[in-house]
Amino acid sequence: MTFSQQLRQEVDTIWEASFQHPFVKGIADGSLSLKSFRYYVLQDSYYLSHFARVQAFGAAKAPDLHTTARLAVHAQGTAEAELKLHANFSKQLGITEAELAKFKPAPTAYAYTSHLYRAACVGQLGDIIAALLPCYWLYDEIGQRLKGMTPKEPIYQEWIAAYGGEWFHEKVMEQINRIDEIAEKVTESDRERMSELFVISSQYEYSFWDMAYRQEEWPIEKQNSIINS
């Protein structure tokens, strides 16, 4: 069993909970409220802007120029392809520039990105890939599962097409292969730490669906909050 197969087995229960979450099932059958999806688009745009930066951290920490170049391509792909998709969603959902200027990340989005930065700043390349990989891989599995579904809401059809597409699948497989290559070269202690990061990110992926479905807010409102970076 490869290291990636071990990781996938370890998080099977967590990922199954994501597959069954009403947010994901609501995209598949079209029953998800557009209000929840609109909230998700705002939060996910924030998340992806930091995801791309952490990919760039990985490029900087790579041991060879080929890996640096490939991770730079991934960071560029996030910035150009996925954020372009979200910009299109924002236009369809009527999200204004004024809203974007006043946007504040929800607790879960803020915590998840902070987790990624911790892996990037404290860890090695393997830690960064382990923390990033659940977002890649889980979305790919959901996209493959939902491929062929035809929700009446067109924007959900676009979401399914994006994450069920071959371009995205190829990027995911590249990172899965990369983590297996890294795992073969590091210590058992390193692999245990990578596994822990992978599990934590998987938990955050579930929490992200739930955050969007519930339209999570900070427990105490405070004027002029500085949580906007």
Which residues form the catalytic set? 135, 205
Q: What is the DSSP string of 127-188?
A: HHHHHHHHHHHHHHHHHHHHTT---SSHHHHHHHHHHTSHHHHHHHHHHHHHHHHHHHHS-H
Q: 201 by DSSP, 3-state: which?
A: helix
Q: Decide: residue 71, CB within 10 A, 0-12 exposed, 13-18 middle, 19+ buried.
A: buried
Rounded CA-CA distance 151/134 in Å is 25
Q: Contact, 208 vs 108, CB < 8 A?
A: yes
Q: Answer positive or negative: Cα dihedral of 8, 12, 14, 19.
A: positive
What tokens were used for 22?
């009403």
Q: Decide: residue 102, CB within 10 A, 0-12 exposed, 13-18 middle, 19+ buried.
A: exposed
